[in-house]
Amino acid sequence: AQTVTQSQPEMSVQEAETVTLSCTYDTSENNYYLFWYKQPPSRQMILVIRQEAYKQQNATENRFSVNFQKAAKSFSLKISDSQLGDTAMYFCAFMIQGAQKLVFGQGTRLTINP
């Protein structure tokens, strides 16, 4: 069974700082996708960034980037120039290519302080 682990239940940084959220996963599959979702207090689940396992290049979306280490099964999210609006729960998620199931980690509560 696939599992996703986020080892940081909570993190807190000052506005404009850079923060990195950790995620590790366990799978014997070779083709899969990894995601980071953001859940602000509004409860809405918002996709932040996506990475295909077959791509060596790390995905980036504006201030958000990932460090994907396939051999280590690690998928961390870096948020640069953090903003107050980045305050949210962040979930790492995994899906095998062709499968129906998105498996989530436990989440990291990120607080950006003014």
Partner 1 sequence: DTAVSQTPKYLVTQMGNDKSIKCEQNLGHDTMYWYKQDSKKFLKIMFSYNNKELIINETVPNRFSPKSPDKAHLNLHINSLELGDSAVYFCASRGGFLNTEAFFGQGTRLTVV
Residue ranges binding partner 1 (CB under 8 A): 33, 35, 39, 42-45, 47, 50, 52, 89, 91, 95, 98, 100-104, 106-107, 109
Distance CA 71, CA 33 (A): 15
DSSP symbol at 84:
G
> How big is the chain by its Cα radius of gyration, in Å?
14
- Please state the closest distance from residue 16 (CB atom) to partner 1, in A: 27
Residue closer to partner 1 (CB basis): 9 or 114: 9
Q: From the centroid of its chain, how far is CA 112?
A: 17
Residue closer to partner 1 (CB basis): 76 or 108: 108
- Please state the closest distance from residue 74 (CB atom) to partner 1, in A: 20
Residue closer to partner 1 (CB basis): 85 or 98: 98
4, 69, 82, 84 from 1: Cα distances, Å: 10, 20, 34, 36
